[in-house]
Amino acid sequence: MYDYCIIGAGSAGVHTAYFLQRFGAKVAVVEKGAVAAGGSGAAGAFVSPRLGRGGPIQRWSNEAFQFCVKFYEKTPFFYQTGLLRLPKEGEDFDSFEPFIDVKYERKDGGFYFPQAGIVKAKEHLESLLEGIDTFYFEAKPIRKDGYWEVGRLRAKEIVLATGSDDELLRVPYLSIGKTSGVRFDVRSDLALSYNIHKKVSVSANIDGIVAIGATHHRLGSKNPASNPLSLFEEAKRMVGEFRYEIEQMYCGVRSSVNDHLPVIGSLYDLKSMPRDWRKIDGSSLPKSGRYIIGGLGGRGFVFGPFAAMLLARYLLYDEPLPEELNVVRFIKRYIKRGGR
């Protein structure tokens, strides 16, 4: 009998398992494919802050960025190369500057962030799973009398960290968006000493390998998807001509929600909710035994450790979740619109 069964071995699931076990819980991870097989293994391993004008997305992104940079100091799979953020067409960098809340300097026509870097996603997540019971099969959790049955495993509570795969979610108040991510690892003599980001991200040259990645296409969009090889055209516009040989291509689907913030917390049956959304207090609701961590979007390795830490402290120490990240925000919106 495990305390928690984490379903999904991407950034959200593995970091959650790591913190829960570190804090003393007995944890199992169930993955139907492979570690970092989805969005976490595509273009999400760039670790950088977010520009903005002080809104909640920038604030939480950069709080998570500061947290994860310290967290990654413990792993040999994080390369703190720094990142040069160049302005996209029409962006007014001068208007962003007063709101930058992380270390930076003006450099080469953009903002340079020395704390930024890139993670070797699969290697990092596999290292965190050492010492954590990990199983590979398609999870179909069944609620029994006081516990969950997940295949041949039993767990007191479950955490859905399934990313864009929302088959196990099935709640009317939360819709998961799906956006493809693409990353190419290429062997190249391109001599970049830091990452560069504009429309796409181009990594520093690490042992002869340069990573080129981007959010590619929102699934379900009426606009046609562009050719993934167009990433190279954009990269050359940023750094100039360079020779390369494709080593590997990674494709995955990222999960997101309409306010572009992570989703963490208890999944509730609407029947247990007050009819008046104003009477719903996420900080006082009892835990449900079924939880979610997701919606990390293109910042899976920025939000992953931070959101996982918050969820673990909520589960084990009853620390309240931030209202702007708590899944209860969607329950309130759903009921406010008249849904039940």
Q: What is the DSSP string of 256-270?
A: E-TT-S-EEEE---G
265's tokens: 């917390």
Strand, helix or coil for residue 108: coil
Residue 216 confidence (pLDDT): 59
Which stretches of 127-243 are assigned E, i.e. beta strand? 133-136, 142-143, 148-150, 153-160, 177-188, 195-197, 201-202, 209-218
Query: Cβ(301)–Cβ(68) under 8 Å?
Result: yes
Shortest CA distance to 215 belongs to which of 96, 311, 313, 296?
Answer: 296
DSSP assigned state of 326: B
Distance CA 42, CA 180 (A): 9
Query: Cβ(291)–Cβ(159) under 8 Å?
Result: yes
How many C-beta neighbours within 10 Å does residue 103 have? 14
Distance CA 211, CA 230 (A): 14
Shortest CA distance to 84 belongs to which of 56, 44, 55, 46?
Answer: 46
Distance CA 10, CA 132 (A): 14
Shortest CA distance to 123 belongs to which of 40, 48, 182, 202?
Answer: 40
Residue 298 confidence (pLDDT): 85
Q: What are phi and psi of 180, to 5 degrees?
A: -75, 145
Indicate the domain borders of the chain.
2-38+124-176+258-336
Arch. (CATH architecture) of 2-38+124-176+258-336: 3-Layer(bba) Sandwich (3.50)
Shortest CA distance to 128 belongs to which of 249, 18, 288?
Answer: 18
Q: Against a cut of 0.85, is the pTM above it?
A: yes
pLDDT along the chain (340 residues), means of 10: 97 97 98 88 81 94 97 94 92 92 94 96 95 97 95 98 93 91 90 92 93 70 66 91 92 88 96 92 93 93 97 97 97 90
Query: Cβ(71)–Cβ(302) under 8 Å?
Result: no
Shortest CA distance to 165 belongs to which of 35, 8, 14?
Answer: 8
How many C-beta neighbours within 10 Å does residue 206 have? 15
